[in-house]
Amino acid sequence: MFTVRVLPLVLVSMLAACGRQESVPPAVQSVSASQTPATEASEPGTPAVVPYANMPKIAPIGVRIDKHLDVPESARGPAIDPAKGYRLQDLGDGLYMVTEGAYQSMFLVYDKGVVVVDAPPTYAAKLPAAIAEVTKNPITHVVYSHSHKDHIGGMPTLGGKPIIIAQEETLRLLKRDNDPDRPLPTVTFKDAYTLNVGGKKLELSYHGNGHEPGNIFISAPKQKVLMVVDVVFPGWMPWRRFAVAQDVFGSIAQVDKIGSMEWDTFVGGHVTRTGTHADVAVQAEFYRDLKAAAGKALSTTKPGEGVNPQDLNNPWAVFDDYIDRVVVQCVDTLTPKWQSRLGGYDVYIWDQCYSMEQALRID
């Protein structure tokens, strides 16, 4: 699991020049000509050929050590036809999921039209073609999961004048944003709304702030499908900082809420595939481990310990050093168990630990 770290020769000679040869680890002594790293003549910004010495195995924010960890099989979704650029998944009784591998949306076909749920700008221009694969019916309704542009900013490419349904907080936020790419909802609700069209049904409900105010649960009871965007990421590390949750513990509570509900297929709005109850349980377990690891690191790390005495009159420096050491401990605690269980673990684990230590201290 641990790769032998080899110091670039330039660093070895620097250490030697400083008279600190004795601090060079044994691995360096055995560098052979064939192992000589090719970093000597590399330009700034060129990726390292070998890991840097004394860097954490998981690269901290802003640092790249090496290629990211392999994506585990459990995080990979079905192949996407590159000619189409999206994948259509039949969820039963007229309901379909569309994805291009990073974002997900749905549409529901009924006798006279189509209800679209979200229009991510990454592939919204292809949504009409995806819908045309199964029906010639027009788009009559759009449901917004929430106000964020990366999930609904592709609206202009859908055309027409559909009825747009959203939670009332989403209307408030979109009025503020005043963005022509995100037309205002024409129908809003506070707690719950049932859309009945031609015998097909979507149940929309609001469970409070987590990811952001107005983010709703979208249930298709007959198809046993639940869609909640930016809260659960089947097979994957959540996007950075609890998927930029405005209320970290609200978002974690919604993971448990999702796990307690009845459905067979989960649509999370992101990444490669739909989810199962097992996926939701894995994310809940990861969040429990993350909370425990950050909590223990906060309680066992001493502020100011090891800080340069000349910096002790700088409270920001003292606290930044404290938080950094808390987060290093948090990452080191979680890595052995989780690095091969979640796709993209190493990409965002530092973000998650920084976000959790902050939430535990101030929320």
Q: How far is the CB of 253 from Zn ion (least distance, A)?
A: 17
Q: How far is the CB of 85 from Zn ion (least distance, A)?
A: 22
| DSSP for 177-211, written as a single string | H--TTSPPPSEEESSEEEEEETTEEEEEEE--SSS
Annotate each residue in 203-242 with x if it binds Zn ion (CB under 5 A) or - if it does not, as one string: ---------------------------x------------
Distances (CA, A) of 150 to 32, 72, 119, 267, 272: 50, 26, 8, 16, 16
The nearer residue to Zn ion, 230 or 279, going by C-beta atoms, is 230
The nearer residue to Zn ion, 171 or 297, going by C-beta atoms, is 171
> What secondary structure, in 3-state letters, does 77-94 show?
CCCCCCCCCCEEEEEECC
The nearer residue to Zn ion, 94 or 213, going by C-beta atoms, is 213
Q: How far is the CB of 186 from Zn ion (least distance, A)?
A: 21
Listed ranges 8-16, 18-26, 148-156, 273-281: which one lies at the site for Zn ion (CB under 5 A) = 148-156
Listed ranges 40-48, 114-122, 127-135, 147-155: which one lies at the site for Zn ion (CB under 5 A) = 147-155
Number of residues that bind Zn ion (CB under 5 A): 2
Burial bucket for residue 257 (CB in 10 Å: 0-12, 13-18, 19+): middle
The nearer residue to Zn ion, 149 or 277, going by C-beta atoms, is 149
> Tokens 């902050």 — which residue?
358
The nearer residue to Zn ion, 173 or 326, going by C-beta atoms, is 173
148 lies in the site for Zn ion, by CB under 5 A: yes
What's the longest Cα–Cα distance across the chain?
82
Closest residue to Zn ion, judged by C-beta, is 148
Report which of 89, 84, 88, 144 is spatially closest to residue 119, judged by C-alpha positions: 144
Q: Can you read off the two tokens belonging to residue 303?
A: 């502020």
The nearer residue to Zn ion, 114 or 204, going by C-beta atoms, is 204
Q: How far is the CB of 215 from Zn ion (least distance, A)?
A: 7
Q: Whole-angstrom Cα distance, residue 203 to residue 217?
A: 8
Residue 180 makes CB contacts below 8 A (sequence gap 6+) with 156
Q: Give the side-chain half-sphere CA count within 13 A for 143.
A: 29
Q: How far is the CB of 160 from Zn ion (least distance, A)?
A: 25
Interacting residue ranges for Zn ion, rule: CB under 5 A = 148, 230
